[in-house]
Structure 1
Amino acid sequence: MTTNIITTPPWPTTPTHPITAALRRISPPLKTPNPFRVQTSTQPNSSNLSLSNPNNINISSNNNNPQDQTLILLLRQRKTEEAWLAYSNSTKLPNPTCLSRLISQLSYQNTPSSFARAQSIITRLRDEQQLHRLDANSLGLLAVSAAKSGQTLYATSIIKSMLKSGYLPHVKAWSAVVSRLASSGDDGPAEAVRLFQSVVKRVRRFSDPNVVVDSKPDTAAFNAVLNACANLGLSKRFLELFDEMQEFKCEPDVLSYNIMIKLCARVNRKDLLVFVLERILDKGIPLCMTTLHSLVAAYVGFGDLEIAEELVQAMREGRLDICRVLRECSDTEFVRKTENHVFAKLLPNSVSSNDHDPPMLKKVYRPDSRIYTTLMKGYMKQGRVLDTMRMLEAMRQQEDSGSHPDHVTYTTVISAFVKVGAMDRARQVLAEMSRIGVPANRITYNILLKGYCEQLQIEEAKELIRVMADGDAGLEPDVVSYNTLIDGCILIDDGAGALTYFNEMRARGIAPSKVSYTTLMKAFALSGQPKLANKVFDEMLNDPRVKVDLVAWNMLVEGYCRLGLLEEAKRIVERMKENGVHPNVATYGSLANCIALARKPGEALLLWNEVKERCGMGDGENSKASDVPRLEPDEGLLDTLADICVRAAFFKKALEIVACMEEYGIPPNKTKYTRIYVEMHSRMFTSKHASRARQDRRKERKKAAEAFKFWLGLPNSYYGSEWRLEAADGDD
């Protein structure tokens, strides 16, 4: 295999550099005494209109250029395609009116091609240092389009750049980005909280509320950031934001409390779920099916299917006293035993629950297919395939068509069969979906693909891909499909096949995800080709759509450590630190295994010193450095380090390591360490012909050895015995 492993098709039109640096050069459209500026229109409520209809943007222009007049006429007639062609054929930049309006209408179309065109205009303006020609409306609409297209990082950079340049984006624009960040992985929720804080900080700097009326947060914006806090389990910050809503005259709605249900589930407060429902009813907020679905999903997430079943059954019976049913099933006494000021303020009714009867529902809510399917997912997770099938049959018998099984229901049944390895039964369900006219989607096929790959049935997985694309479904495989196939090739040790699918994915124009890169790196790391893994890593670094995380760094380190290439692995770790990425337990574990493989026990002492500092056990000031996260060592790392130290007769360090193991509740393997000591060190300190300096060093080592033997329970100098492992050597 050659080193030129990855074929590189042209990337979609994406700025080579972040938009942030370029937008900092935007010059102010008007000079005002305020440190920040807000672009407003002379028409009332025009900002709201601009976000729903780009033709309502009110921009005046005195430019008499014929090309500009033609372009603005096309844009006013909503002939966006012809306007784009006119712009592309022109060698000169249009005036600010045309540019802003063209970007607005391209962003409003919200298609991949229109978004790419809008990005190309940004790229051109950035290269010619003309980004100041754009107004706040066009940039805000571009941010919304980027968020909807999944380009969350690009959308975030636009909003941040607008803030740094003095623009205040419309609330619909920046809240859309916050919402996308809150639901994304990695550090997206944390970034959502920071972005919300940045906007609110600038809004508060204006004493006149009318100036920022279109930028201040509304209930939807607060719900977006509350969702981020719930995903992070930040209950205190959730309370602060919940109270902050009053400052901006925003009232919590039913979605706010649905998010609170998620928070209770995230912080392991199952006892509070019923009180969220009661709070909604007490405040007179109209209840929706999503609230009841959230409750069922929360109980299923806790693994408490009995309460979930009681809730669904109460809905089936048309009962209005669902709060009473949940109280009787839940351990509400836990609320009073563990008082929490955060939830006492969020849910004051939970503190005084004994003072009033549970409220009643205003009307009957029957379970729909979504609620039944959620309960089925609980059965599936517990491997209760029979109950899953019974639920499917029960849904088929329902009189209400809204309770009949849909594609999500059948996909859940397929997942249940895949979980137990019954691939034939899963395929039969897929055939049944086709027969009764319930269309399967990519998720359905991807679950089947994963099942075949886990069962090492790669040929069946390949055949399913063909059926998926060429059959009745007519679904092209996506990045998840290819990631599954790549991982399947790794399971059968087929690195070449993994690379083939990776290149095929890119040839189809499917952008690789973070999982795609790390999975391919895993293939090369496991096959002993760290240089190829490094090449994939470099491709990942150069891909602006992917954020390199700790998993990718660790996979690269692991590739070198598997071959005992310690110096190369250490260079990667230093590169990690230079990029602001702190090694974790997996990183140190790979290094420890590499040290053992390379037989360099001296390196183990250096590694242990670093681990000790990260665990807060160091003696210096660096042991409590605030910028480095605290490390929680695991059994694999500490056992490997102790093993190396015992074999190298570093007994003092070995005792430090086993003390750390005991501190973290990890039982040391005394049997193994005793065997190593007896086999390797039982004849230590027998030579009497050595220099005085060497004898002094030996004396210190012997003290450590005696202490280690004492810990092992072997005969030692602390407790005399007629049986000795080593002869006296004159150092006593």
Structure 2
Amino acid sequence: MMNTLNLPFTFSLLKISPTSTTTTTTTSKPTTTRVRASASASRNTNTKNNNNTTIAEFIVNSKEKQDDTLLSLLRQRKTQEAWILYSQLPHLPNPTCLSRLISQLSYENTPLSFSRAQSIISRLRHDRQLHRLDSNSLGLLAVSAVKSGHTLYALSIINSMLKSNYLPHVKAWSAVVSRLSAAPDNGPIDAIRLFYSVVKRVRKVEDRTLVGYSCPDTAAFNAVLNACANLGDVVRFCKVFDEMPEWGVVPDALTYNVVIKLCGRVGRKELLVSVLELMLRRGVEPCVTTLHSLVAAYVGFGDLGTAEQLVQALREGRRDVCRVLRDANLANVDDAGEDDDGKEYNKHGNDVLLEKLVPSSIVDDSEPLLLPRLYSPDSRIYTTLMKGYMKTGRVSDTVRMLEAMRRQEDSASHPDHVSYTTVISALVKAGSMDKARIVLAEMARIGVCANLVTYNILLKGYCQQLQVDKAKELVREMTGVAGISPDVVSYNTLIDGCILVDDSAGALAYFNEMRARGIAPTKISYTTLMKAFALSGQPKLANKVFDEMLNDPRVKVDQVAWNMLVEGYCKMGLIEEAKNVVERMREHGFHPNVSTYGSLANGIALARKPGEALLIWNEVKERSAPRRDEDANNPSLPPPIKPDEGLLDTLADICVRAAFFRKALEIVACMEENGISPNKTKFTRIYVEMHSRMFTSKHASKARQDKRRERKRAAEAFKFWLGLPNEYYATEWSLLNPSERNDYESGPI
């Protein structure tokens, strides 16, 4: 019997009652024709009403019988037959049938059953009948959506329940929080927001026992803490951690595993051993995942030496792991030299909160504790160390680790498909595609099945080496021999491979094939295809792809997509179209960043419209200038930017070619302030080739000579900066003095 979520939920059953008809019997004999006619009409009317009543009763009885049959099928767990009957019904079944059908389809947890459940929801939404469903069915559908990878759909279901004042079961909403916490883009932020949306509503109920099914449990807290850790948000992490006692939740081993991740995210390597000792002192027994988290943290810090010592201690059956990690910390401090000796951390903000959460005095003031039992490293721990070797380019060590795992007596330490995939990834990264294929063949020989991730890594390797034909052959092998269908990552890789070989038609073909297979494009799919059209000089097609992306509710358009569209127009010198895109970007809440300005500058140089460069420079200069205290937290102002070398060099190049020397001096001064060395050799060559005969006309009128006096002084200042022969100019001339003439009123003379 399927477990259901017990939630008090009231809904109204709309029953159709037959219309009651009252008939009056007349005993007196009619005496006239009119009376007879009236009596006849009355009899006809009564007969008609009785017929209508009979039809209404028949319809109601028919609906009730059909609903009873549907409910009987559902009670017998004949979900397939129930779905077929539901599909044939001309009416909506009663709420009990609908809720039970949704629940059982969700419980099956297959793509087909989930699609069917979605169709019921769509029908109810269209008819505005969502209130017919109870919270149990909606909660199960949300869990099914999470398991099927439709996280945003699951989030929308939970949010709809909250808006309708339904409190979902903690198993349902915490599953969504857990998946969001590791999702890209704003996933962790959405996870935290959902957590507090539920908690806020639960807190409004005075008697918590009435809503105990929805109160956050340990799994829910661990999920939201994981979101905070992924964001590296120490303040929010500590706030959530401090709220656990309010709900009677005690941190478990998984909670402290997330604390280890947080220390890794915020760069506090010396606190890792403190977390382990804190667990032991509070009576929380570490699990193998705890030790894996420690190895992963040290690998993330690039400290493979400590990671190796930890794994070796576990292999030797040592319980004094805390002492091993303490000694490693001391060795790291000694190796760092005098610069880091006695380093003082900022005892404000994050460090104060972390010190409260994980006191470092545990390590300083006490003897290291022993692990409660022996832990043997499993394949996950070994594979994590292998990934560290792979990231640092130690391919031979990666392969040797695989061989060592094969010789282990403990079967839990034997390499699995992840271990082999790591070796293949290391070989692909080193460009050894032939050796990577040998490892793939070895997996098939010993019965370790390669999965989709394995093939996607090989696909990426072939595409990066411009061997798109071999990538296509691998796809045929993957589908025909291994029986693995390509996913959206596979298609994104193939689309990107087509771009690398300048095959925009092939990229579009793969994009259409992906959608024909029912695979939803991701943000990467859209932006990669946009890149194909932008590079091939087809910005209008890139714009069409962007508009489709903008209308896709499953995808969140980000700054990269907007910049890709701007770049497509700028590569063709279509500045006005690019500026229109920037205006649309602002309307959607995005501000141009350094990449946007860089594309615009390149487009302006191509279109030879130097006046536009001055407008861009003024905007860049304003956004890169230090802000006043009252403007620091003003949300209406665009965020500050730090211009890079490419942007400033392009703007300076445009200004020098257009003889806007005053602006050119401002730009090169900005470059020097940001530690960027301007290319004086290039600017000297441009000046000599284009402007060496400036201001040499002897027949110019006095008015014209007065008009260009300031421009001439700016030119002499620029020549002085270049080190070219120049006239003496007054010491009071400054970049800060207002120009008497606009720089772009006239070009070079």
Residue 489 of structure 1, aligned match among 477, 487, 498: 498
Range with bigger deviation, 396-405 or 138-147: 138-147
**1:464 and 2:474 aligned:** yes
8 Å CA contact 1:395–1:403 kept in 2: the answer is yes
**Which one of the candidate residues 352, 356, 380 is aligned to 2:366?**
356
What's 1:22 paired with? Answer: none
Q: Is 2:414 the partner of 1:404?
A: yes
Q: Distance in 1 between matches of 2:222 and 2:639?
A: 30
Rounded to whole Å, the distance in 1 between the matches of 2:178 and 2:622 is: 38
Secondary structure of 1:241 counterpart: helix
Aligned to 1:337: 344
Offset, 1:616: 4.0
The corresponding residue for 1:142 is 141
1:565 and 1:114 map into 2 onto residues whose CA distance is: 49
Cα displacement (A) at 1:160: 1.8
Q: Which residue number corresponds to residue 515 of structure 1?
A: 524
Contact 2:717 2:729 in 1 (8 A): no
Where does residue 698 of structure 1 map in the other structure?
708
- CA shift at 1:359, angstroms? 1.4
**Greater Cα shift, 239-248 or 98-107:** 98-107
Corresponding position of 2:536: 527
Q: Deviations over 1:208-230 (max 9, x none)?
A: 22233222211111111111111
2:357 to 343, 346, 359: 346
Take 1:590 and 1:361, find their aligned partners in 2: how far apart are those partners? 57
Pairing 1:436–2:443 present: no
- Inter-partner Cα distance in structure 2 for 1:208 and 1:714: 84
**Deviation digits for residues 55-91 of structure 1, max 9, x if unmatched?**
x999996967222222222222222222222221111
Deviations 1:243-279 (A, max 9, x none): 1112222111111111111111111122211111111
Are residues 1:197 and 2:202 paired? no
**Separation (CA, whole Å) in 2 of partners of 1:142 and 1:188:** 20
Q: Please identify, of 158-167 and 656-665, the stretch whose mean Cα deviation from structure 2 is larger.
A: 656-665
Give distance in 1, aligned partners of 2:263 and 2:313.
Answer: 22
Task: Find the counterpart in structure 2 of residue 321 from structure 1.
Answer: 320
Deviations along 1:560-619, one digit per CA (max 9) or x if unpaired, are 111111111111111112122222222211111001111111111111222233324589
Instruction: Check conservation: 1:706, 1:717, Cα contact below 8 A.
Output: yes
Alpha-carbon distance in 2 for matches of 1:690, 1:576:
47
- Aligned-pair CA distance for 1:467: 1.2
> In 2, distance between residues paired with 1:78 and 1:123?
24
Distance 2:673 2:97 in 1: 67
Q: 2 CA distance for matches of 1:650 and 1:83?
A: 77
For 1:582, the equivalent position in structure 2 comes to 591
Aligned-pair CA distance for 1:429: 0.8
**Cα separation, 1, equivalents of 2:500 and 2:632:** 41
User: Equivalents in 1 of 2:715, 2:93: separation in Å?
Assistant: 82
Q: Is the 8 A contact 1:614 1:623 kept in 2?
A: no
Question: Would the aligned equivalents of 1:456 and 1:488 in 2 still touch at CA under 8 Å?
Answer: yes
- Kept in 2: contact 1:395–1:405 (CA 8 A): yes
Please state if 1:242 is matched with 2:253: no
CA distance in 2, matches of 1:713, 1:160: 66
Aligned counterparts of 2:178 and 2:701: Cα–Cα separation in 1: 73
CA distance in 1, matches of 2:701, 2:275: 78
> 1:230 touches 1:260 (CA, 8 Å); kept in 2?
yes
Shift in CA distance, 172/688, structure 1 to aligned 2, threshold 3 Å: farther
Q: 1:608: which partner in 2?
A: 617
Q: 1:377·1:412 contact (CA, 8 Å) conserved in 2?
A: yes
Alignment of 1:123-202 (within 5 A): 123-202=122-201
Residue 30 of structure 1 is matched in structure 2 by none
Instruction: String of CA shifts for 1:436-469, please: whole Å, max 9, x gaps.
Output: 1111111111111111111112221111111111
2 CA distance for matches of 1:711 and 1:109? 75
- 1:39 is aligned to none
| Contact 1:261/1:298 (8 A) holds in 2 | yes
- Cα distance between partner residues in 1 of 2:628 and 2:578: 27
- Check conservation: 2:716, 2:729, Cα contact below 8 A: no
Q: Do the aligned partners of residues 706 and 565 (structure 1) sit closer, same or farther apart at CA in structure 2, a change above 3 Å counting?
A: same
In the TM superposition, residue 402 of structure 1 has moved relative to its aligned partner by 1.2
How far is 1:400 from its partner?
Answer: 1.1
Deviation at 1:291, TM superposition (A): 0.9
**Is the 8 Å Cα contact of residues 613 and 622 (structure 1) preserved in structure 2?**
no
Amino acid across the alignment from 1:77: Q
Letter in 1 for 2:403: E
Question: Following TM superposition, by how much is the alpha carbon of 1:720 offset from its aligned partner in structure 2, in angstroms?
Answer: 9.9
What is the rounded CA distance, in whole Å, between the counterparts of 2:12 and 2:125 in structure 1?
Answer: 23
The within-5 A match list for 1:229-308 is 229-308=228-307
Q: Report the Cα distance in structure 2 between the residues aligned to 1:565 and 1:60, rounded to whole angstroms.
A: 61
Aligned-partner Cα distance in 2 for 1:162–1:574: 37
The aligned amino acid for 1:615 is S
The amino acid that maps onto 2:288 is M
> TM-score normalised to the size of structure 1?
0.87
Distance 1:392 1:719 in 2: 73
Q: CA deviation at 1:632?
A: 2.8
What is aligned with 1:376? 386
1:375 deviates by 1.0
Describe the shift of the 1:659–1:144 C-alpha distance in structure 2 as closer, same or farther (beyond 3 A). farther
> Runs of 5+ in structure 2 lacking a partner?
16-60, 334-339, 732-740, 742-749
Aligned to 1:668: 678
Q: CA deviation at 1:98?
A: 1.9
TM-score normalized by the length of structure 2? 0.85
Aligned length: 672
- Point out 4+ residue stretches in structure 1 off by more than 6 angstroms: 56-62, 332-336, 618-624
C-alpha RMSD over aligned residues? 2.7
Range with greater deviation from structure 2 (531-540 or 677-686): 677-686
Rounded to whole Å, the distance in 1 between the matches of 2:165 and 2:674 is 50
Q: Does the 8 A contact of 2:542 with 2:568 survive in 1?
A: yes
- 1:651 paired with 2:605, answer no
Q: Does 1:111 align with 2:110?
A: yes
Check 1:712–1:620 CA distance in 2 against 1; reply closer, same or farther (3 A cut). farther
Give 1:242 deviation, angstroms: 0.8
Please report how far the alpha carbon of residue 670 of structure 1 lies from its aligned counterpart in structure 2 after TM superposition: 2.9
What's the CA shift string for 1:621-663, capped at 9, x where partnerless? 9897424333232211121112212222223322332333333
What is the one-letter code of the residue matched to 2:220? A
Partner of 1:556: 565
Letter in 2 for 1:337: E
What is the rounded CA distance, in whole Å, between the counterparts of 1:191 and 1:652 in structure 2?
A: 48
The structure with higher relative contact order (CA 8 Å, sep 6+) is 1
Classify 1:304/1:76 alpha carbon distance in 2 versus 1 (closer, same or farther; 3 Å): same
Cross-structure match for 1:424 = 434
Aligned mates of 1:645, 1:83 — CA distance in 2: 74
Q: Could you report, residue by residue, the CA deviation over 1:187-206 in whole angstroms, capped at 9, with x for unpaired residues?
A: 11111112222222222222
- Matched to 2:620, the amino acid is V
SS in 1 for 2:555: coil
Q: Which amino acid aligns with 2:409?
A: E
Letter in 1 for 2:390: M
Would the alpha carbon gap of residues 58 and 712 (structure 1) be closer, same or farther in structure 2, given more than 3 Å must change?
same
Cα pair 1:613 1:623 within 8 Å, conserved = no
My pick for the range that moved more, 376-385 or 536-545, is 536-545
Alignment CA distance shift 1:720-1:549 (3 Å): closer
Any stretches of 5+ residues in structure 1 without a counterpart? 1-45, 722-730
What letter corresponds to residue 589 of structure 1 in structure 2?
A: G
**CA distance, structure 2, for counterparts of residue 103 and residue 375 of structure 1:** 45
In the alignment, which residue of structure 2 is the partner of 1:41? none
Q: Is the 8 A contact 1:380 1:416 kept in 2?
A: yes
Q: Deviation at 1:669?
A: 2.5
Deviation at 1:118? 1.5
Match in the other structure for 2:696: 686
Amino acid at match of 1:545: R
Contact 1:318 1:364 (8 Å CA) reproduced: yes
| Paired residue type of 1:659 | A
Identity of aligned residues (%): 72
**Following the alignment from structure 2 to structure 1, what is the Cα–Cα distance between the partners of residues 150 and 700?**
70
The amino acid of 2:614's aligned partner reads L
Cα shift readout 1:30-61 (whole Å, capped 9, x = no counterpart): xxxxxxxxxxxxxxxx9x9424x99x999996
